[in-house]
């Protein structure tokens, strides 16, 4: 069962929904609710084409597991690539691939990622708890070559990892799915205090060490009409999507598959029922 949030609509009179005096919130906050975002405008010219996997050899483990490969880019694969850029690691010394996240994300790994790998690769991944993480490790010549040679995922350290060019296609669903996978692993959604009021103001963010990945991800998000901001703190580069309109658009266009983000939005809705009464939770 996959759960995601979509379809958030907000009134231009935010202070009425919060039941606060407009003198306290002021004109600036009212202006935030009137933010107008750009239309979706995908400038990538590449079209989706079939993958040539004929040269990929399978080792004994691959054959025993019945490993298969997607034949072209689809939204589910795009999301898995985003997940790999976020939580994954492709070793450059042997045919090893690891996907591990926070221990608190068991539900995401057990019920979403496990099913995703079964659907895409026919793999029943052995997800388990490690010393400080939760996820799985695979030693597969076939999967390693598919990820590296076909998908273009860089092996080794991710300090300067780029976004694979296979993602950069003229397809809204593919781009949105990639962003969802990346933000569901290395991103977050939060509600912060603003104007001395409660923690009601939405901020969606992503932080990575790779400058190139942040710049290229921001480019994709901009194509989806969300107008991101980029900043740098220490070794990390970050993307920020602040305000109600960006939360609304993110929910409609991208959404979430990770319960950690879904639950934050649901809790926010319960805390501010008037502000979030039109948030829809869809179960598919």
CATH architecture of 60-167: Roll (3.10)
Is residue 246 within 8 A of residue 204, CB to CB? The reply is yes
Q: For position 244, what pLDDT does the model report?
A: 82
Q: Tell me if 3-43+172-283 shares its fold with 60-167.
A: yes
Q: The whole model's pTM is what?
A: 0.87
What Å distances lie between residue 245 and 6, 17, 81, 204, CA to CA? 13, 15, 27, 12
How many Cβ atoms from other residues are within 10 Å of residue 62's Cβ? Answer: 23
pLDDT for the residue numbered 272: 76
DSSP symbol at 112: I
Q: What is the pLDDT along the chain (284 residues), one digit of tens a residue?
A: 444 444 333 333 333 333 433 333 332 443 455 678 899 999 999 999 999 999 999 999 999 999 999 999 999 999 999 999 999 999 998 899 999 999 999 999 999 999 999 999 999 999 999 999 999 999 999 999 999 999 999 999 999 999 999 999 999 999 999 999 999 999 999 999 887 778 888 899 999 999 999 999 999 999 999 999 999 999 999 999 998 888 888 988 999 999 999 999 888 878 877 665 555 444 33
Query: The domain at 3-43+172-283 falls in which architecture?
Result: Roll (3.10)
Q: Are 18 and 275 in contact (CB under 8 A)?
A: yes
The residues, any chain, with a CB within 8 Å of residue 162's CB and separated by 6 or more, are 154, 210, 212, 213, 216
Domain ranges of the chain: 3-43+172-283, 60-167
Length of the chain counted residue by residue: 284
Q: What is the per-residue pLDDT for 87?
A: 97
Q: What is the DSSP string of 237-260?
A: EEEEEESHHHHHHHHHHT----HH
CA dihedral 154, 155, 156, 159 (to 10 degrees): 10
> How many angstroms separate the CA atoms of 90 and 151, rounded?
12
């Amino acid at each position: 069962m996959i759960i995601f949030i979509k379809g958030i609509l907000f009134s231009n009179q935010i202070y009425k929904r919060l039941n606060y005096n407009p003198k306290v919130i002021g004109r600036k906050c009212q202006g935030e609710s009137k933010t107008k975002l750009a239309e979706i405008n995908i400038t990538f010219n590449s079209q989706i084409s079939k993958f040539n996997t004929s040269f990929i050899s399978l080792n004994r483990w691959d054959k025993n597991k019945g490993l298969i490969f997607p034949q072209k880019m689809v939204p589910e694969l795009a999301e898995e690539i985003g997940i790999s850029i976020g939580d994954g690691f492709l070793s450059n010394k042997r045919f090893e691939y690891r996907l591990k996240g926070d221990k608190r994300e068991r539900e995401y790994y057990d019920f979403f990622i496990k099913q995703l790998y079964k659907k895409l690769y026919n793999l029943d991944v052995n997800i388990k708890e490690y010393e400080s993480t939760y996820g799985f490790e695979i030693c597969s010549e076939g999967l390693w070559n598919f990820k590296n040679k076909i998908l273009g995922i860089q092996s080794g350290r991710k300090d300067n990892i780029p976004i694979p060019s296979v993602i950069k296609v003229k397809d809204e669903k593919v781009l949105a799915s990639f962003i969802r996978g990346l933000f569901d692993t290395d991103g977050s959604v939060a509600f912060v205090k603003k104007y001395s009021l409660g923690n009601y103001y939405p901020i969606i963010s992503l932080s990575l060490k790779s400058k190139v990945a942040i710049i290229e991800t921001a480019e994709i998000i901009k194509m989806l009409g969300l107008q991101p901001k980029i900043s740098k703190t220490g070794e990390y580069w970050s993307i920020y999507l602040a305000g109600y309109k960006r939360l609304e658009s993110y929910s409609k266009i991208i959404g979430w598959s990770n319960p950690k983000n879904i639950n934050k939005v649901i809790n926010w809705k319960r805390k501010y029922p008037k502000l979030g009464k039109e948030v829809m939770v869809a179960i598919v």
